[in-house]
Amino acid sequence: MSSADTRPRRRADAERSIARIVSAARDCLSRDPDATVDDIAKAASVGRMTVYGHFRTRPELVEAALAEALRAGEQTLAGVDLGGDARQAMSRLLASSWSLVAESAALLSAAQRVLPEGRLRELHTGAADRVELLIVRGQSDGVFRTDLPVTWLVNAVQYVLHGAAEEIRLGRLDAAAASGIVTATVQSILAVPDPVGQVRSGT
């Protein structure tokens, strides 16, 4: 009873239904944090009652969707080599997972409104924390800026990713080019600011 077989008996098709529902929930909630249970059911090609058969309340469903997204995020994160130059590591990280992180961020804001305060931090620990560690390492290696709070840097990156996802949804940003653009933007945010050209150099 470590993590699998939460319940002793469950039929295979039920398992499949649950998977479809959670997946649909991720899709719907990422697009619209206010997605209805009925919307999600329809997206999963499943009756609304089936959803309630597996998730007692809507918040419970939202939490399940978020948990799965975070799990997927952590798995992807685990597959990325975070060693070597912190900047390159960050680029690798973004290249392989930025859209996923962005999606999780949208889900996160969806969950923020229906889950109790502490529950979020509880679930979210580890995902963003590992990004923070990478940034901190980059700082102590002297390749990332130290003039701004780490908390801010982490969140600023989050917001940029979220924004990029939104821009794509609105058709204002090419999905194919997004990865490069996001990476360039994030690198600029994290890089040690150039003391010469920043605000000085009037005339």
Partner DNA sequence: AATAACTCGTATCCTCTTGTACGACTTACA
Partner DNA sequence: TGTAAGTCGTACAAGAGGATACGAGTTATT
- Determine the 3-state secondary structure of 136 from DSSP: helix
Residue 167's region, left for phi above 0, alpha for psi from -120 to 50, else beta, is alpha
How many helices (H) does the chain have, and how many strands (E)?
9, 0
- Cα angle for residues 48, 122, 135 (degrees, 5° grid): 120
In the list 79, 116, 118, 197, the residue contacting a second copy (rule: CB under 8 A) is 197
What x-and-dash track marks residues 70-99 binding a second copy by CB under 8 A?
A: --------------xx-xx--x--------
163 binds a second copy (CB under 8 A): yes
| Residue 156 engages a second copy in binding (rule: CB under 8 A) | yes
- Report how far residue 105's alpha carbon sits from residue 162's, in angstroms, rounded to the nearest whole number: 6
45 backbone dihedrals φ, ψ, rounded to 5°:
55, 50
Q: Look-up: residue for tokens 């090419």?
A: 174
Q: Residue 191 interacts with a second copy (CB under 8 A)?
A: yes
Rounded to a whole number of angstroms, the minimum distance from the CB of residue 153 to a second copy is 9
CB of 72 to a second copy, least distance (A): 24
Give the one entry of DNA, a second copy, none that residue 187 binds, where binding means its C-beta sits below a cut-off of 5 to 8 angstroms depending on kind: a second copy
CA distance 56 to 62: 11
Selection from a second copy, DNA, none that 179 binds (CB < 5 to 8 A by kind) is: none
Find, among 147, 173, 149, the residue nearest to 160 by Cα: 173
Amino acid (1-letter code) at residue 84 = G
**How many binding residues for DNA (CB under 7 A)?**
23
47 to 76, contacts with DNA by CB under 7 A? 47-50, 52-54, 56-59
For DNA, give the closer residue by CB, 107 or 131: 107
Cα gap 69→53, rounded to integer Å: 22
Its sign, for the CA torsion 125, 126, 131, 133, is positive
Partner that binds at residue 162, options DNA, a second copy, none, CB closer than 5 to 8 Å by kind: a second copy
Among positions 32, 38, 141, 174, the unique one binding DNA when judged by CB under 7 A: 38
Site string for a second copy, 107-136 (x = CB under 8 A): ------------------------------
Can you tell me the distance from the alpha carbon of 82 to that of 92, in angstroms, rounded to the nearest whole number? 8
Residues that bind a second copy (CB under 8 A): 34, 84-85, 87-88, 91, 143, 145, 147-149, 151-152, 155-156, 158-160, 162-163, 166-167, 172-173, 181, 184-185, 187-189, 191-194, 197-199, 201-203
